[in-house]
Amino acid sequence: MTVGDRKTQRRGVLGPLSAAALVATLAAALWSAPVAAQEKVLRIAMTAADIPRTLGQPDQGFEGNRFTGIPMYDALTHWDLSRSDGPSVLIPGLATSWAVDAKDRTKWVFRLRSGVRFHDGSPFNADAVVWNVRKVLDKEAPHFDASQVGVTASRMPTLRSARKIDDLTVELTTSEPDSFLPLNLTNLFMASPAHWQAKFDAAPGATPADKARAAWTAFAADASGTGPFRMTRFVPRERLEVAANRNYWDPRRVPKIDRVVMLPMPEANARTAALLSGQVDWIEAPAPDAMAQIRSRGFTIYSNAQPHVWPWQLSFAEGSPWLNRDVRHAANLCVDREGLVKLLGGMMSIPKGTVPPGHPWWGNPKFDIRYDVKAAQALMQKAGFSAAKPLKVKVQISASGSGQMQPLPMNEFVQQSLKQCFFDVEFDVIEWNTLFTNWRIGARDPSARGAHAINVSFAAMDPFFAMVRFTSTKTFPPVSNNWGFFGNAEFDKLIEEARTSFEDKARDAALARLHARIVEEAPFIWIAHDVGPRAMSARVTGVVQPRSWFIDIATMDMK
């Protein structure tokens, strides 16, 4: 009996049935239905305008890691996403342990997990780790892919090479002692060398380089990692479908959901409408003015304080209006963050810096970020500005994107807030992934189009991501995300103290000194801390909203 036949029978077209007969018939139909009819399918609407890259190193910011990185791939180290009542900490991934060499702290030894296989069936081992490091660092490697370098090397700029010791042991070398390396390696996802080689062997091309590019394109459409989900269907700009990997190496993360469908949906109202109409089961960043309706319709909104900053990152290039620290302090004092909380339906927290007071890295800075219009006006007047002579600033922003919360209404609110303190703000609105690319190119590049600030949110869960990449002279573009070229010898020394401290308490103390000086010098306007709101159908169960930008789909289930 086909599904259509069963629908017809339920309408009574096959003749009158008693209640008992009807129940019996329905039960028989359900028992005889194909397994696929009972498949658990989770449909997600992302904020991205396109599917994040699927070849192992995602783009689209950390939304890419969340939806095409962590589900399909593994890294040597993972973030613990299993709890909501404490910070996410580093745990073993494909590496079971790691240690820095006591005599040469530029060398690390990683012990690898045995028995792990890629989705194509090939084994994960030390050769695979070396291959994946070379894909982004070794231009002479036949599989080197320049398109993956920007989103990888900028997140682990001291990593230089990998060397196989034995099948389950690998040595990684850094350019300088770097205690942050195990944290940074959460971003190096392991793709299958054997699967790529098969694509290369079948690829067209007149030269090995042509064939390698074609192989990566083919790999992206038919990816192979070691993650809890494997790719089954990929349509650029439309959808990505992944299915449960029942042979996943971690029994705690073997998926209960059969299939996940991810859909790019950058407009908040469209995402909200898709949820309310039943087109999807989960949306990122629901429209703030629809929160009450979403809850009233039985959906659940998840949120949690997380280390994720929504700022304006300021330019220190020649001629920038932000070179005067009084102006930077004035802008931080002039943002009505309480008003912004109301605009967002409560879905943000108010920052006092990159990390909150009480955090081990807080450091008790002397500058207090607060809402104080009179103090801000006095600083602006001291700098030579007034209502009659406002300071013109241009900010590059996006209309949507990973971690960008509600960028258009939020930026317009900040624009009006700053106006009372003699700032005349102009926006350059560009597509999210273009903005993210520009973020690595820097304020001095033509891509900035004369902008004096850039609005890219960032995760602050490890020292490099939270502070170092924005304040070191070694991370000026294109190395990493010091878009504004902020930094000097003092900051480089503070960073070196933290980076070369391999004991937790000493490293935290060094990072606290660094954070205090960052807040005091104010290379950002700290506007909001994200709480990661997402709305889901009540059918989705087992949801843990961690204190992290990431979330683990593998441990969820569906009714």
Count Cβ atoms within 10 A of the Cβ of residue 541 and give its class: 0-12 exposed, 13-18 middle, 19 or more buried. middle
Closest CA to 439 of 479, 406, 388: 479
pLDDT in tens, the chain (559 residues): 333 333 333 333 223 333 333 233 333 333 333 444 589 999 999 999 899 999 999 988 888 899 999 999 999 999 999 999 988 999 999 999 999 999 999 999 999 999 999 999 999 999 999 999 999 999 999 999 999 998 888 889 999 999 999 999 999 999 999 999 999 999 999 999 999 999 999 999 999 999 999 999 999 999 999 999 999 999 999 999 999 999 999 999 999 999 999 999 999 999 999 999 999 999 999 999 999 999 999 999 999 999 999 999 999 999 999 999 999 999 999 999 999 999 999 999 999 999 999 999 999 999 999 999 999 999 999 999 999 999 999 999 999 888 899 999 999 999 999 999 999 999 999 999 899 999 999 999 999 999 999 999 999 999 999 999 999 999 999 999 999 999 999 999 999 999 999 999 999 999 999 999 999 999 999 999 999 999 999 999 999 999 999 999 999 999 9
Model-level pTM? 0.86
Please give the Cα distance from 522 to 414 (Å, whole number).
17
Residue 400, CB-side half-sphere exposure with 13 Å CA sphere: 19
Which tokens is 31 given?
Answer: 């028992």
Distance CA 4, CA 513 (A): 68
Burial class of residue 374, CB neighbours in 10 A (0-12, 13-18, 19+): exposed
Burial of 375 (0-12, 13-18, 19+ CB in 10 A): middle
Helix 373-382, helix 325-333: angle, nearest 10:
160
Sheet architecture: strand order including 229-235: 229-235, 239-244, 259-264, 41-46, 282-284, 534-536, 300-302
Asked if residues 351 and 367 have their Cβ atoms less than 8 Å apart, the reply is no
Read off the amino acid at residue 73: Y
C-alpha separations of 254 from 76, 117, 151, 246 in Å = 18, 14, 28, 6
